[in-house]
Structures are given as C-alpha cells and as structure tokens.
A and B are shown apart, each in its own frame.
Chain A
Amino acid sequence: MAEVSFKGVKKSYGRVDVVKGVDIHINDGEFVVFIGPSGCGKSTLLRMIAGLEDITEGTLEIGGRVVNELQPKERGVAMVFQSYAIFPHMTVRENMAFGLTIAGASKPEKEQKVAEAARILQMEHLLDRRPSQLSGGQRQRVAIGRAITRKPAVFLFDEPLSNLDAALRMDMRMEIGRLRRQLGATMIYVTHDQVEAMTLADRIVVLKDGEVMQIGAPMELYHEPANRFVAGFLGAPSMNFLIVDILDLDGEAATVGNQSLEPIRVATRSRPFRKGGKAILGIRPQYLREAPSGKGMLHGTVALAERLGSETVVDLMLRDDRELIAAFDEDKIFEPGDALELIFDTALAHLFPEDG
C-alpha cells in the first residue's frame, strides 16, 4: 500500500512540453482516474509512475520515497496495458506467474498465488490455455491476474478496456470495481471514457495539454466544474455553452441574457465578470425542460431529433443561429422546424468568463 505524489512534475521531449508542472497527491488505497483528451499527458503521467518514462523536472514519490531514478522493478508497481501485453507463447498460468518466475519464487508459492488470483478473477478453467485461445476480455483478465499475483502497492491501468467491445467493457468495468474493493490497493487508472471515470473513481484528475484542470470526486466535477473545459468534458451529451451579455452584476450573481435567452440571474461563483461584457453560460442538456408557449427562457426551432427510447435528444437552432442540445428523459416526437421553448433551473447553470 502506498501513496503516490507528483510534485511539480514536468516532462519534455526536446522543446515540446508534454507535462507542464503537475501536482497531484494520491492517498493510500485510493482509486484515481486520469482523464482527458488525446495528447493531454495522462498516459505519460502513468508511465512516469511505472518508470517507463523519465521525469524531466520535479519529483515523484511512491510511499514517501522519491522514485525518479528507480528502475520500474524497484517501484513496487504493476501495470495493465491497453494492448494486454501478455506473452503469446506462455499459457495463462505462466503469464500470471511471470513476475514470480522472474523473482525466482518457488513452485508451490507460484501455484498458490496463481490459484488465488485465478479465483478472484474467476478464470480457474482457463489456466492451461494460450492467449491465442482467449477472447479480448479474457486476455485482459490474464493481464490483471499477472498484476495481482505480485501484490504490488500500486496498480496502474492504461486504458485497459479500450480494446473491448461495449458489452464486455461494462462487465470488465464492474469487475475492476469489485477487484478494487477486494484488494484495497492504490489504483491509478487512465482513460478517455468518462463513464469509466465517473463509475470507478474516488477522485478524478482532469488533464488538458499537460496541465491539471481539476481534481475532485466525480460528482463534484460534474456539478461544480472549475472551468469550461471540465464542464464540457464530463457529461454526455456535453454541456451547452451560450455566449451571453452581462446585463447586470451584483455581489454573488449576474443577470445575463441574449437574443434567444430571456434575462436570468446566475450565480457567479466568485468568478470575475464585468458588467456590459460577455460571458459563457453553461447548461447541461438534461436540465432543459420544455415550456408552454410564451413561458420559456430559451427560444429556438428543432433541427434534428434523435429518439433513443429512454430519452430524446433534440438539436435546436436558436434565434441567434447557434446550436443547442436538449435531452428529455422521455420518448417524444419532435418535427424539424417546430418552434420550441425551454426552461431550466438557473441554479444548475454555470457562468464562465469568456476566456475559459
């Protein structure tokens, strides 16, 4: 068991800065997910913990020990890769015992630990197969098994479910959640899939261009995004952003509106705004509701409607020719061209400065 701590960590390839000064503290036994778009540096951070990437600047501590200069094997970490990285010429049993074989463990010890890992992962019947005889999900299970047998202090997952199909991904997601409760080890998980992040994490680290955008519990990030990027990144369909004029400003709230939006009061959450200036109003598609004619705050026409059964996603064209997505939690028929008025709870809206 161990804490992991990034202190001012930077990574550069030549002149390109991939990670630009990151401070993250991960507690012992915590499940932390790094999420962000491609190229945000999330995998690089994970590989730094594993020791597969050098650290250009700053320090990385695992269990209170600075590991910048330590070899991967000296760090007490195990890693599960997106491509599984299990050895094709070894049986499942040999693959799972690999770390123990390398360490020169005795045969009974290997047998016992592999059996235990196989029991946890419910794959006792697969032990004598070769990877080529396994499905994708089973292969990933072998990779996880290999990580478990060594009882590492820190588990690293690098997009472990990205190569699996949707149904299997859900199964494995639940399995990883269960595993986490069983093992209680520190786990760091990289993904670009927000569902994985929201469901698995104790805390999520949102990254963009090598910088931490926000760190917090999933619901904290969802309900109180620190900035427009986090707000737009989490949630599907993603949050609507409207450019609005600041009509009035007092201590805690601003009155905003535009051509399509009736003036409303929205909390500023201590962000700096200027009366007469512009701001970005963020509102999640799920918080929009249909209003009777003449009573709506937002006015637009239906451009496209997608019926998903459990919900209906409507693409609206607003009066100022900007698009807006509304998601209604019922199956409803909308015709393109229909005028539509919407209302929402202003407490659920977010106001961001124009530059972020």
Chain B
Amino acid sequence: MASKLTLSNRTGWTFALPGFALIVIFVVLPFFFAIGLSLTNQRLLSPNPTQFVGVENYRQLLGLAVVTLEPERDDAGEVVRNEAGEIQYPRLRKITRSNDYPQYRGMREWFRWQSGENVTVVIASDVVFMKALVNTFLFVLVVAPVQAGLALVLSLLINQKLRGINVFRTIYFMPVVVSIVVVSLLWRFIYDGQNGLLNSILHGLTFGLFQPVDWLGNPSTALPAIMAMSIWQAVGFHMVIWLAGLQTISPTLYEAAAIEGASKWQTFRYVTWPGLRNTAVLVLIVITMQGFALFAQIDVMTNGGPRDSTQTLVFQAVERGYGKQDISGGSTISVILFVIVLTISLIQRWLTRER
C-alpha cells in the first residue's frame, strides 16, 4: 500500500520509531514468546535443551475427569460402614495409580459429591490451577457488578452542583492514586485477626458480641476480604469514568423529561441509563480485565493461601514461572488467561451492542 503516509513521511516515521520499538520489544514479542514457550518444556535455568512438547502443557493444566466410586462391599454384598455409620469407599489412588486406568495417571481429587450410594469425584491433573481458575472467575463475577454499580451510585452522587462537591470527589478518588501494594499492606493490618481495625470496629459496634475473625487466615473469608478491598480501591477510578459519561448527556434531555413529568427513577431509567450505554461497556470490560489480572493483592496479603483459597491465575503464572522456574507452565497459564479475557470481552461487546 504505497501512500503518502508510507513513502514521503520519513521524519514522521523516525519520530514514531522509538515508540514502535518499545511496543514491539515489551508487548508484541513477549506475547508471541508466551505462545511459543507454552508449547515447549522451557525452564528458567536448565542444563537440558528445550524441547517442543506440543499441547502437553495445556493437557497438564486443563486435564479433568469424573470418576464414580462404588461403596466397598463385604463378601455378602453388604455396603461396608465404619463405626460412625459412614459408607466406606475404595481409595482414589487405587484408580489414579492403577495401570488399568492410564488416562487418570497423576490426577488428584478436586472435589466430590454423594449421589445415592455412590460418590462422584472430579479429579484434575492440576488441582491448584483449577482452584485458581475458579477463584479468579468468582472474583470477577463478584467484583465486576458490585464495583461498577457502586461506582455508578457514587458518580450520580457527586454529579451534583453542591458546595464542596470536589472534596467528595477527591476523597472517593484518593485510593486510586495510592499504589495497590501500599493499600494491600494497610489492609493487612485492617484485616488482622487479633486487633485489626475491622475486628475492633465490629467489636465496638456490637458491644463486644462480635468474635474476632482472622479475615485473611480463614479459607472462607480470605477471598471475600480481598474482593471487598479491591472494590474499595478502584471504585473511584470507575466513578470518574461514569462521571465522564454522565456529563456527556445533554441537560436539555433532563429538562424535557422533567416537563414530561418523569420521576427521579424514571429519569434515570429513560434518560441517564440509556445515555450511559457505551460507558457501561467500557467500565465492565476494564473491570473484568483488571479482575482477571488479580495479582498484587494476593502476593502481598495471602500468597494464595490459606489452603489455596485465594489462588488466582496471574498469581499462579508468576509463581510457576519464577517461583518454580517453570517458564513454560507460567506461559501456558498466561495464554489461557488471554483466551479467557478475549472471549469474555467479545461476549460483553456482543451483549451490549447497539441494537
């Protein structure tokens, strides 16, 4: 395509070159490197030559199977129960280590449920990855709507002509300016199980009835605690984006709605919300992507614990690539994450398309 842009614009291209070079070196190349490495057995430091292994890494990560265990029976065909009356099942490793079932080799139990007398066990070749996957999705599913909704409410509140409204705008935006690492460190103190701020406040508010909780040390509260903190930290950023969207809506539309007799809620429903459609797409996609990239909070606050309850995809990618020096494993997780985020963004765009 020979055009004026490509032919006689040497100065322009010279100016653009440093930027292009940086983007290629730090964005484009690593992207293709990650895809390439995920198909090998590359390690960070290794005396052995790198080998091409095809999709073995993906199989290793995504391997899933469902096995059904039947109760152990005695010679009479009766179900064997222990002293507490619970049905006894054969041990899972009898299957996963058996030569009869080479396809289950190396897999471990992820979770199981009872169905009738039998028990169904989901086994995965990489249980930690599966937990990370589920946690990440859970995080996005909770944070995206809550953070977007909260940010919208805040933006509606600060989109008023009030004395001192800028003070509120500043306060709500402040956490965004602070580094997430610093915020995470501070919230570790807030969530402290002994005399953390949160426990103290709840203790005070309930006149001593509330029993202190080790928010980050308890598998059932650790992930929700990190979600709450993450929502609080970035809500101001999305509030500003919503605010920008709100201010593009023509004031005469509000006046027209007022004359036609619309209540506050009707005005929001018929004027504000339709006017925020494009902003909503942007906010949701940005939160989703940020949610999938959850790392710093985990790294500072829980390291994926307790009992893998806060493992996430990016944390696992870093943990494997650098902690375990398994570059190919880390790359594989990155590629899977990329595919997930791309898919979800496309779905979101399709769902929120102009009709």
Asked if B255 and A146 sit within 8 Å, CB to CB, the answer is: no
Q: Is B53 an interface residue (CB 8 A)?
A: no
Asked if A102 and B260 sit within 8 Å, CB to CB, the answer is: yes
Asked if B253 and A87 sit within 8 Å, CB to CB, the answer is: yes
| Pairs across A and B, CB under 8 Å, 27 listed | A52-B255, A52-B258, A52-B259, A72-B255, A73-B258, A73-B261, A77-B259, A79-B259, A81-B252, A83-B250, A85-B253, A85-B255, A86-B256, A87-B256, A87-B270, A87-B274, A88-B275, A90-B274, A98-B260, A98-B270, A99-B260, A99-B261, A101-B270, A102-B257, A102-B260, A102-B266, A150-B260
Q: Is A89 an interface residue (CB 8 A)?
A: yes
Of the listed residues A71, A77, A99, the one surrounded by the most CB atoms of chain B closer than 10 A to its CB is A99
Contact (A146, B277) CB under 8 Å given A83-B250, A85-B252: no
Of the listed residues B252, B256, B277, the one surrounded by the most CB atoms of chain A closer than 10 A to its CB is B256
Name B's interface SS.
helix
Q: Is A50 an interface residue (CB 8 A)?
A: yes
Residue of B256, B262, B263 touching A81 (CB-CB under 8 A): B256
Asked if A87 and B261 sit within 8 Å, CB to CB, the answer is: no
State which residues 130-145 of A face B: CB under 8 Å.
none
Q: Is B296 an interface residue (CB 8 A)?
A: no
Q: How far is the CA of A224 from the CA of B257 in the complex (A)?
A: 41
Q: How far is the CA of A215 from the CA of B266 in the complex (A)?
A: 40
Q: How far is the CA of A86 from the CA of B275 in the complex (A)?
A: 12
Question: Considering only CB atoms, which chain A residue lies closest to B270 in the complex?
Answer: A87
Asked if B261 and A78 sit within 8 Å, CB to CB, the answer is: no
Question: Considering only CB atoms, which chain B residue lies closest to A86 in the complex?
Answer: B256
Asked if A87 and B255 sit within 8 Å, CB to CB, the answer is: no
Interface string of B86-125 (1 = CB under 8 A from A): 0000000000000000000000000000000000000000
Residues on the B chain within 8 Å of A89, using CB: 274-275, 277
Q: How far is the CA of A89 from the CA of B81 in the complex (A)?
A: 66
Residue of A52, A81, A85, A103 touching B261 (CB-CB under 8 A): A103
Residues on the A chain within 8 Å of B259, using CB: 50-52, 72-73, 77-79
State which residues 46-81 of A face B: CB under 8 Å.
50-52, 71-73, 77-79, 81
Count of residues in A whose CB is under 8 Å from the partner chain: 24
Asked if B271 and A102 sit within 8 Å, CB to CB, the answer is: no
Q: How far is the CA of A102 from the CA of B260 in the complex (A)?
A: 7
Q: How far is the CA of A73 from the CA of B263 in the complex (A)?
A: 9
Asked if B255 and A81 sit within 8 Å, CB to CB, the answer is: yes
State which residues 31-59 of A face B: CB under 8 Å.
50-52
Interface string of B269-299 (1 = CB under 8 A from A): 0110011010000000000000000000000
Of the listed residues B260, B263, B270, B274, the one surrounded by the most CB atoms of chain A closer than 10 A to its CB is B260
Residue of A77, A85, A86, A102 touching B262 (CB-CB under 8 A): A102
Residues on the A chain within 8 Å of B271, using CB: 87
Asked if B253 and A146 sit within 8 Å, CB to CB, the answer is: no
Residues on the A chain within 8 Å of B263, using CB: 102
Residues on the B chain within 8 Å of A83, using CB: 250, 252
Q: How far is the CA of A88 from the CA of B274 in the complex (A)?
A: 9
